[in-house]
């Protein structure tokens, strides 16, 4: 039986999986790549359409993250005080 990993490449870029391969500093406003399924995009777009006015996916996702962080206890919330976005 063939699995998804059977088709995976046998090599990776040097350092790609090392913990220190990612920068640790984050600017006041930074970018990330986010991989989401088509179903998730459809659900986000449906939620956006239900709101009055026009709202971008980026703004909707940012608000969802901020709401999730606001529900967390303050001692567990490492991002407290850094919740502003453009």
What is the token pair recorded at 43? Answer: 């659900």
pLDDT at res. 18: 64
Structural domain harbouring 55 = 38-74
pLDDT tens for each residue of 13-41: 665 556 666 667 778 888 889 999 999 99
Number of domains into which the chain is organized: 1
User: What's the pTM?
Assistant: 0.56
Is residue 81 domain-resident? no
In a domain, 24, yes or no: no
**CA distance to 31, 32, 40, 63, per residue, from 49 (Å):** 24, 24, 14, 15
């Amino acid at each position: 039986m063939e699995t998804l990993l059977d088709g995976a490449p046998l090599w990776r870029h040097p350092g790609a999986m090392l913990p220190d391969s990612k920068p640790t500093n984050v600017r006041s406003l930074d970018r990330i790549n986010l991989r989401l399924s088509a179903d998730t995009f459809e659900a986000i777009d449906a939620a956006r359409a239900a709101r009055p006015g026009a709202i971008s996916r980026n703004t909707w996702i940012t608000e969802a993250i901020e709401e999730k962080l606001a529900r967390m206890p303050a001692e567990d919330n490492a991002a407290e005080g850094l919740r502003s976005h453009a």
